Homo-oligomer: A and B are copies of this chain.
Amino acid sequence: MKITILIHCPDQLGIISTTTTFIQHHGGNIIYLDQHVDKAANVFFMRLESDFEPSVFDLENFKENFDEKVAQKHQMEWSLHTDEAKPKMALFVSKYNHCIYDLLSRFHAGELHVHIPFILSNHNDLAYIGAQFNVPFYHVPFTKDQKAQAEKTQLGLLEEHEIDFIVLARYMQIIGNELIDRYTNKIINIHHSFLPAFVGAKPYHAAFERGVKIIGATSHYVTKELDAGPIIEQDVTAVSHIHSVADFISKGQDLEKIVLSRAVKLHLKRKTMVYGNKTVIFS
């Protein structure tokens, strides 16, 4: 049975030896250990993958002991994940199909260890994709007058389907504060620029206007400040004066889908930790 433990705590002597010795004493074989110290903040981060013999391993007992003998001693915030759990991911889209097609084709190829209970959109344009991939598609309009109602509907669907995390696969609407509060560091967005350049709407137009020679895409966790959440992944591609805004958009979409999918995979593999407004992305 494979277990992944994520830890962060004030930096201090002996964290690694205490933790690894505890795991060894409980019969665990450490497969991978990755740690990081944020010296400015004096915070220690660690990600541990361990293997346990399932026939003799008592998960609940392990957790209790770990908390008592390791975590409390070091003031750790920690979480433990088994490879048996299969999280539930909701997909929010608007009209562009490239990100959702990319995610669904990966899902179909077995790349993503998730359930996808539903797709939600403020438009009906991509309903056909739900049909193609046999995933329920909810059309929740989000016009000015309907926002409050739409957010209520969104929250209802998320609760009903026990959604663990949300992927905004080019969902072009602002997410409500209540939803952000309920899903802190659990809403993954793709922004179509190399953040922090070109925050907000129409970043490709702004990039074209500025005459940049490189454009980018950024996947980040959603916070209440627009396009300012902790960055998970970024990538870029070259452009030149010969490219129109339409070319920027087309080239950018190739980035967006790859960057978003990479971020989703990192999140699923528990390789992301958020601290302050930054991420630690384990390798």
Contact = CB atoms under 8 A, between A and B. Distances in A.
Given A196-B212, A197-B194, A211-B231, A24 B17 contact: yes
Q: Which 4 A/B pairs are nearest by Cβ-Cβ distance?
A: A211-B278, A101-B105, A17-B20, A197-B197
A198 B88 CA distance: 37
A190 to B, nearest CB: 14
A27 to B, nearest CB: 9
Interface of A: 13-14, 16-17, 20-21, 23-24, 29-39, 96-98, 101-102, 105-106, 108-109, 111, 132-133, 194-198, 210-214, 216, 230-236, 238, 240-242, 244, 250, 254, 258, 261-262, 277-281, 283
Contacts of A233: 213
Contacts of A101: 101-102, 105, 108
The quantity of this chain's copies bound in the complex is 4
Contacts of A195: 197, 210, 212
A153 to B, nearest CB: 27
Contacts of A38: 241
A13 B17 contact: no
A32 B37 contact: yes
A211 B21 contact: no
Given A21-B21, A101-B105, 17 more contacts: A16-B30, A17-B17, A17-B21, A17-B30, A31-B37, A97-B109, A98-B106, A194-B194, A194-B214, A195-B212, A196-B210, A211-B230, A213-B232, A240-B281, A240-B283, A241-B278, A258-B258
A234 B212 contact: yes
A175 B89 CA distance: 41
Contacts of A262: 254
24 contacts: A13-B29, A14-B24, A16-B33, A17-B20, A17-B24, A33-B33, A97-B105, A97-B109, A101-B101, A101-B105, A102-B102, A194-B194, A195-B197, A195-B210, A210-B231, A211-B279, A213-B231, A213-B232, A213-B233, A240-B281, A240-B283, A241-B278, A241-B279, A241-B281
Given A31-B37, A132-B133, A283 B283 contact: yes
Given A14-B24, A17-B21, A211 B277 contact: yes
B16 A20 contact: yes
Contacts of A31: 37
Contacts of A250: 111
Nearest to A211: B278
